[in-house]
Amino acid sequence: MIINILFVSVSYLAAVAATLAGFGSSTLLVPVAIHFMDVRTAVFIVACFHLFNNLFKIRLFWRKIDFKTFLLFGIPSIIFAFTGAFFISILPVDIIKKVLGVFLIIYAIYSLIKPRFAVKKSKWTAIAGGSFSGLLAGLIGLGGAIRGAFLVTFNLAKEIYVGTSAAIATVIDLTRIPTYIFTGAAREIESYIILLLFLIVSAYFGVRTGKALLNRINQDTFRRIVSVALFLVGIKILI
């Protein structure tokens, strides 16, 4: 019971943080979940929370979504999310995680030093970001950080960034969750139905809180928050 309360509390904070940074709920929740369920079940349960978290964000930021960017990111995300989810029980992911962690740390530090730095906005940048984030989301449940690293370079207004990121994350989740079930990666999920219901409630209130805080943050501060979040995610992945 105490563990479940802790998990739900962390999920609320994760939903707030993810609304501010555009990603991060899986990164915070997966390490907590694996303490009391197997890794594959943890990835599945957190993926379900992640889905509802992003659906609530879409509801709040629907008018802010950049659909052109969404399609460029989203289509390759679907393809590679399926690939990553299919191979979750086959491929070793330790090396992939370490490479990702180093990349995020270097990128975040450079972005903080050079706040106006941005990768040239192009369809190929979006396709690459969608592909990498989809693959990592399906494989280890941590694709949001790499998506954020690519998406933030487009210099989207903060609400457009959050709404577009949520839309991309949603199509990834709608791809990988059925794949986890089909491949048998999600087991004994019936034991966690009640917990999942509480997670959905915490996702809703976390998104509402995050949106209220987001309205008080200016654009430059928002970008720094994303860069710091990327740095912390990179450290966490390496540790």
pLDDT, one tens digit per residue, over 177-211 is 888 888 776 666 777 788 889 999 999 999 999 88
Torsion, CA 181, CA 183, CA 188, CA 189, rounded to 10: -20
pLDDT of residue 119: 62
Phi, psi (deg, nearest 5) at residue 154: -80, -5
Number of domains in the chain: 1
Q: How many CB atoms lie within 10 A of CB 66?
A: 19
pLDDT of residue 100: 64
Q: Which domain holds residue 172?
A: 2-238
Sites in the chain below the pLDDT cut of 70: 1-3, 24, 27, 31, 35, 88-89, 91-93, 95-97, 99-100, 115-120, 185-188, 219, 223
pLDDT of residue 227: 76
CB 84 within 8 A of CB 40: no
The predicted model scores a pTM of 0.78
